[in-house]
Amino acid sequence: MAQDKQTGQYYFPHGSRLPFFGSASLFVLMAGAAATLNGASIGVWVLGVGFLLLCALFFFWFGEVIRENQAGALFYARQLSVPWLGGDGAKAVTGLLWPDFEASWPSNGPGALSPRDNGSYEIIPAFGLPAINTALLLTSGLTITIAHHAMKMGNRGMLKIFLALTFLLGFTFLGVQAHEYGEAYREHGLQLGTGIYGSTFFMLTGFHGLHVTVGAIMLVVIWLRCMKGHFTPHQHFAFEAVAWYWHFVDVVWLGLCRGSASSWQALHRDRRQYRRGQDRADAIPVPALRHQAVLRAKRPESLPRGLLR
């Protein structure tokens, strides 16, 4: 929906089959995923079909938006500022409401699931590959800003180069990430099933990686559109939207780094406390004690796999 500034008339998009098609393909995808998880053999096929349908949806949907845009329909968006919450203030609240709350990772997870016999694992050090990856992402934030300036100056050559650089950096980031996962799995004994630390680590970085993938694909699409001569120095909202998204995955990564750094500290503090732990137990109020006791319970030698499926 957009309004023509001159006539005050609104532009109505015509009816579209895509939303229904998209919902149906998501349904196929989800039903396939559920069937796969339930162990049905056709599940993967349904999942695959759903995935292809979804890809087709994106292709058609964005194709349509691009065509409308090229035909002159003007979509506009006012920028909304999002007030960010959180940060260290949250800790004060935790201190008051759950004074004995400790971030702790005392367990390596059920022995049965752990790749090593003694269930031990090392965490990924914050320097080394993760630092390189941080540098890669930050640089890509820079290159996309340069590309944006080039766009505004009408310097198409520079625009194309720096945009390409941006998604190349993005894909490199993903490659490094994959390599790091491999190392974690094979050499550090750190896996998705390695207790709460592994769970948190892989879920956070994994979902982030997913977003980087999506963002990089979007950058490629924008780059292809630049190659075809789309956008003008004044009209390039799609570019801007993708740039916002890219900065967003950047910022999230920094949050993740900070988070994993502090959990790294917690882990080390915790290993010390874990040893001293038991004699502090009577200082903890009863309800809290109940949780702590669960948390601090010794890892059972082996846990029946069925419990976790």
State yes or no: residue 199 binds other proteins (CB under 8 A): yes
State yes or no: residue 48 binds other proteins (CB under 8 A): no
Query: Taking Cα atoms as reference points, which of 220, 200, 309 lies closest to residue 262?
Result: 200
Query: Taking Cα atoms as reference points, which of 293, 267, 268, 269 lies closest to residue 280?
Result: 293
State yes or no: residue 10 binds other proteins (CB under 8 A): yes
State yes or no: residue 176 binds other proteins (CB under 8 A): no
| Cα–Cα distance list, 283 to 9, 221, 267, 288, 295 (Å) | 70, 59, 22, 10, 16
CB of 283 to other proteins, least distance (A): 13
State yes or no: residue 254 binds other proteins (CB under 8 A): no
State yes or no: residue 50 binds other proteins (CB under 8 A): no
State yes or no: residue 23 binds other proteins (CB under 8 A): yes
Give me the residue label for tokens 């029946």: 304
Q: Which of 71, 77, 92, 283 binds other proteins (CB under 8 A)?
A: 77
State yes or no: residue 80 binds other proteins (CB under 8 A): yes
Please identify, among the stretches 134-142, 162-170, 210-218, 298-306, the one whose residues bind other proteins according to the rule CB under 8 A. 298-306
Spatial separation of the C-alpha atoms in residues 302 and 308, rounded to whole Å: 12
Residues ≥6 apart with Cβ < 8 Å to 85: none
Q: Which of 59, 67, 70, 99 binds other proteins (CB under 8 A)?
A: 99
277 alpha carbon, distance to own chain's centre:
35
Identify residue 293 by its one-letter amino acid code. Answer: A
- List the structure tokens of 273: 């406390």
Per-residue 3-state assignment (H helix, E strand, C coil) for 67-81: HHHHCCCCCCCCCCC
CB of 226 to other proteins, least distance (A): 25
State yes or no: residue 181 binds other proteins (CB under 8 A): no
Q: Which of 46, 47, 69, 110 binds other proteins (CB under 8 A)?
A: 110
State yes or no: residue 130 binds other proteins (CB under 8 A): no
Residue closer to other proteins by CB (options 234, 286) is 286
Spatial separation of the C-alpha atoms in residues 303 and 309, rounded to whole Å: 11
Q: Which of 1, 71, 92, 283 binds other proteins (CB under 8 A)?
A: 1
Task: State the first-to-last Cα distance of the chain, in angstroms, to the nearest integer.
Answer: 48
Residues ≥6 apart with Cβ < 8 Å to 119: 108, 109, 111, 299
State yes or no: residue 113 binds other proteins (CB under 8 A): yes
Residues that bind other proteins (CB under 8 A): 1, 3, 8-10, 12-20, 22-24, 26-27, 30-31, 33-34, 37-38, 61, 76-78, 80, 96-100, 104-110, 113, 191-200, 202-203, 285-288, 290-291, 294-295, 297, 299-300, 303, 307-309
